[in-house]
Structure 1
């Protein structure tokens, strides 16, 4: 029977070592992920990128300005047509 215990003990030790190695690997994985996330955030901050909310606000302002510009162009064209049509001969 002593010979039977030795292989079981060896397998138990091997299982313990593998479990410890898996735990260590998971810890290293978490550390690497944290490092990459931190470096990525630092890189994005250095690139001076605009946040999505700010971009959308400026986009809406630009669209509103374009619509107002088109309305003013039409109004100006209408006024020019009235002035040009009332004077008869052009310059």
Structure 2
């Protein structure tokens, strides 16, 4: 009876050790994959959200300025054609 319990205890220890090892390998693989993805993405020419928003704001301002200049030009052309 004692030998059966000892064999069962040894088996449980073996399974627990294997489960811990497998879990550790999984965490290690996940961290490695995350690092490789960061390296790959970092090598691409992405811009940060702040840079994107700054360029977007400049584009809106430039469009507004172009619209104002066009309205001014239209007004000057209209005045020239009348005169």
TM over 0.5: yes
Q: RMSD of the alignment, in Å?
A: 1.2
Q: Is the radius of gyration larger for structure 1 or structure 2? A: 1
Q: CA deviation at 1:73?
A: 0.7
Q: CA deviation at 1:84?
A: 1.2
Q: CA deviation at 1:52?
A: 1.5
The 4+ residue runs of structure 1 with deviation greater than 3 A are none
Q: Which has the higher contact order (CA 8 A, sep 6+)?
A: 1
Q: Secondary structure at the match of 2:46?
A: coil
Equivalent pairs counted in the alignment come to 83
Equivalent in 52, 65, 68 of residue 68 of structure 1: 65
Equivalent in 53, 56, 65 of residue 53 of structure 2: 56
Tell me if 1:20 matches 2:52: no
Tell me if 1:83 matches 2:80: yes
